[in-house]
Every structure is written in structure tokens, then in C-alpha cells.
Amino acid sequence: MTILAFTGLLAAGSLLAGFLGALTGLGGGVVIVPLLTLALGVDIHYAVGASLVSVIATSSGAAAAYVREGFTNLRVGMLLEIATTLGALAGAALAAVLAPSVIAVVFGLVLLHSAWVSRQRADPLPDGAAPDPLATRLRLDGSYPSPHGMQRYQVRHVPAGAALMAVAGVLSGLLGIGSGAVKVLAMDRAMRLPFKVSTTTSNFMIGVTAAAGAGVYLWRGYIDPGLAMPVMLGVLAGSLLGARVLAAAPSQHLRLVFTIVIALLGAEMILNGLTGRL
């Protein structure tokens, strides 16, 4: 394959990854890493490095649009970013001592678990449930635009959400996925944010998380500009397109896309990790 063909294929795949990342809050890394490692034979450490750079681009491209449209909960995002950034630094350091096959299997297991959890229905809150005292004290409750006007919501279980965000940060630094899969589920399931608010707030957060991990990968020499540049440009264009589609897309359709994408890629990563192809 020529360099031109390789770059074109990389840019096209990155465009799709950015589109899916913006729609689901995943950050694009769940498509970028398998694309580079399984389809193009790139070493997984360099794939993760390029993915982290693309995650920063996704966050920059989609987050600004979501904030402007009123979907993102900025106070929740800034609070949880503390835990997830610390976790990202730990995960990036851990990646240097683990074998590529181990990283691939962990990647796949995380994605399969996220796919399963995303299809489970959350227990509805009881009528007249009291507001969460900590969320009220921190003024985390908010509203988002819906077809029927601004819709109010209340944030729940802040400590549990922060703990899950630390885990998400470790996975981001280790796997280069932006940890959007875990972030979305933490906010959607534990903190009970509406799904569109969860995905948009995830997009706001993943850029900072990825930047923390990318610094460690850059220091270790795992970020190749020739690889990272077309990935970043493709993901940025796809994320801007996805941001335009999200506002009108039904939440149940977003959940279905979320589940199908990460389940297929998770199974593929586990298979290749166990058979030693990575």
C-alpha cells in the first residue's frame, strides 16, 4: 500500500470515528484503535497515542457546539474532570509496562461490558424523590433543550460518579479511548443525567482527559506526527458533522448505535489479543 493510499484510508476511517464519537460521547478512540491495529497493522502503543490526539480533536470540535446549544452541563464536567485526569496519568504510565495483547483484551472486555450495561434499563426514580443534597450544594442540577422546550433534570450520586470517572481516566490513559464509554454510562446510570446531556458532557471532558494521557505517550515517543495528523483531521471533521446530527437524533437510536459499535469492536479486540495478532 502506498503512503497516499494509507493516508486516505486513515482519514476516511477517522472521519467515521469522529462522527460516531460525537453522536455517542465515545470520543472516536473505540474505532481508531481497532482500525489502526487490526486493519492497518500499527503497533497498539502508537495506535493509542494517535487515538488520544484524535480524542482531543473530537472534544474540541464537538464540545464547543454542544455548549453553545445548551446540552452540556459544565459544572458536572469540571467537577468530574479532576478524578478522570488523575486516572489518565496513572493509566498512561501503566500502559508502558503491559504487553500489547493484554491491553487489547482489556480494551475488548471494557467495550463488551459497556455495551451490555447500555442496554439495561435504569430503575425509574420514585415520584417526588428528594434532590441530592451534594448536587444541590454544588449547583449541579440543570436543564437542556428538548422538542417541548427546556427540560429540567436533577443530578444524583455524585461520589459514585466521581469514583467511576477515576476508573474512566485509567482506561483512557491505558487504551486511548477517551473513556467516553465509561463516562457516558457513569453519568447516565449512576448520576441519572439525560442521555444527551451525558454524551455531550462526556465530549466536553474527554479532551482534557486525553491531553493528560497524551503527554505521557509523547514523552515515551509513542506519538508519530505522520500517523496522528490525518487521524486528527478526519476525526475533527467527523465530530463537527456528528454534532449537527445529534440535536435531532432520538436518544433510543443513539443508544443502539452506541451498543452495536462497541460490542462488535470489543469482540474483535479480544479475539485478536488472545490469538496474539496484536
pLDDT tens, residue by residue, 101-125: 888 888 788 778 767 766 665 555 4
Q: What is the pLDDT of residue 255?
A: 67
pLDDT, one tens digit per residue, over 146-184 is 777 788 888 888 888 888 888 888 877 777 666 666 777
**CB proximity list for 2: less than 8 A, separation 6 or greater:** none
Structural domain that includes position 49:
9-274
| H/E run at residue 101 | helix 100-118
In a domain, 259, yes or no: yes
CA 25 to chain centre: 5
Q: What is the pLDDT of residue 117?
A: 64
Per the DSSP assignment, residues forming a β-bridge with 265 are none
Q: How many domains does the chain have?
A: 1
In a domain, 41, yes or no: yes
Per the DSSP assignment, residues forming a β-bridge with 151 are 144
| Residue 41: how many other CB atoms lie within 10 Å | 11
In a domain, 4, yes or no: no
168 φ, ψ (degrees, to nearest 5): -60, -40
In a domain, 194, yes or no: yes
In a domain, 90, yes or no: yes
**What pTM does this model have?**
0.68
Q: What is the pLDDT of residue 118?
A: 62
Residue 249 has pLDDT above 70, yes or no: no
In a domain, 2, yes or no: no
Mean pLDDT in the chain?
78
In a domain, 235, yes or no: yes
In a domain, 182, yes or no: yes
Q: What is the pLDDT of residue 95?
A: 78
